[in-house]
DNA sequence: TATCAGTTTAGAACGATTCTAATGTATTGA
DNA sequence: TCAATACATTAGAATCGTTCTAAACTGATA
């Protein structure tokens, strides 16, 4: 609790009640993928009623401080990932679920990027059948 | 024109005026990435006023017949790709532009998929900086 | 050419997200 | 410690891409 307050302050975020609750959940050491909706549901189960607007604000605030990653998954929702290291994913469309790939992968045979463009990062998405 | 009508019929799609116009544009031999909005704009420039609802319907109809691919790009929009072969992309967020990668790439170091799951396909998205 | 299933359309509805503006709260510095 | 104020939270309205609705239209068929 104290740690989380410190942690928020260190990231120039006021440790408000809501942010502390959300940060405690998100940064408990277990990497998570959340959307505003799944996070809201989880918080309700934890008896923490926090408005959707605040959840959106908080996710974006955390994202802006680099505490969360936005995922490049096509879906109606925006996914936020507590694992901010560069990594890849398995994706099961059927289950609408993402699974981290935490091993190093190499992509070979990459063509040159277009003129005046530089490669920022490479994302690999492994689609699962079932 | 005749060819496009045939082409539509062969894919169990009635060659209506609107579908013919859209198919003529999309399948002119040059691969394209479109969203409902960019397609609508293009059609307006070609003096073809087709309602947004029809554009959405048509894109989905074509998708369902396998004539278009839906792209897994995070963006507010859904991108459709006239290149239905398996391939990868460069993506410039700044330009909101996709560029096909038409060379074979290999991904090595892939971990085993989760239990009972099979890998369907691997998609590589190369993010560009500028 | 009449019939009818399939198609198009304007506009309403939808669902995720953002905005608004009123209220509340953490920080500050006297 | 407390008042001032800058920042946060909130309910509900607004927005935006997309889908739905139901009425009008059109291509296929007999």
CATH of the domain at B15: 1.10.10.10
The nearest CA of chain B is from the CA of A128 a distance in Å of 5
Nearest CA in chain B to A87: B110
Given a contact cutoff of 8 angstroms between Cβ atoms, the answer to whether A81 and B90 are in contact is: no
A118: in domain: no
The nearest CA of chain B is from the CA of A95 a distance in Å of 11
B30: in domain: yes
State the best of B94, B111, B112 to mutate against chain A, taking most chain A CBs within 10 Å.
B111
Q: What is the pLDDT of residue B37?
A: 93
According to DSSP, residue B34 is labeled: E
Please state which of the ranges A76-80, A99-103, B83-87 shows the lowest mean pLDDT: A76-80
What is the mean pLDDT for each group of 10 consecutive residues in chain B (130 residues)?
85 96 94 92 94 96 92 72 88 80 91 91 86
Strand D nucleotides in reach of protein CB atoms, 7 A cut-off: 7-12, 16-21, 26-28
Number of domains observed in the structure of chain B: 1
A46: in domain: yes
Q: What is the pLDDT of residue A91?
A: 83
Percent of chain A's residues with pLDDT above 70:
93
Is B103 an interface residue toward A (CB < 8 Å)?
yes
B89: in domain: no
Residues 6+ apart with CB under 8 A from B128: A113, A114, A117, A118, A119, A120, B90, B91, B92, B93, B94
- Range(s) of the domain holding residue B56: 2-70
Is A20 an interface residue toward B (CB < 8 Å)?
no
A12: in domain: yes
A61: in domain: yes
């Amino acid at each position: 609790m104290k740690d989380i307050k410190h942690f928020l302050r260190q990231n120039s975020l006021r440790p408000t009640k809501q942010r502390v609750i959300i940060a405690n959940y998100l940064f408990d050491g277990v990497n998570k993928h959340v959307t505003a909706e799944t996070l809201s549901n989880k918080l309700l189960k934890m008896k923490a009623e926090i408005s959707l607007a605040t959840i959106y604000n908080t996710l974006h605030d955390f994202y802006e401080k680099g505490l969360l990653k936005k995922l490049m998954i096509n879906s109606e929702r925006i996914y936020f990932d507590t694992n901010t290291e560069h990594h890849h994913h398995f994706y099961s469309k059927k289950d609408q679920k993402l699974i981290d790939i935490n091993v190093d992968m190499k992509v070979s045979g990459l063509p040159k990027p277009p003129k005046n463009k530089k490669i920022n990062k490479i994302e690999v998405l492994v689609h699962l059948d079932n």
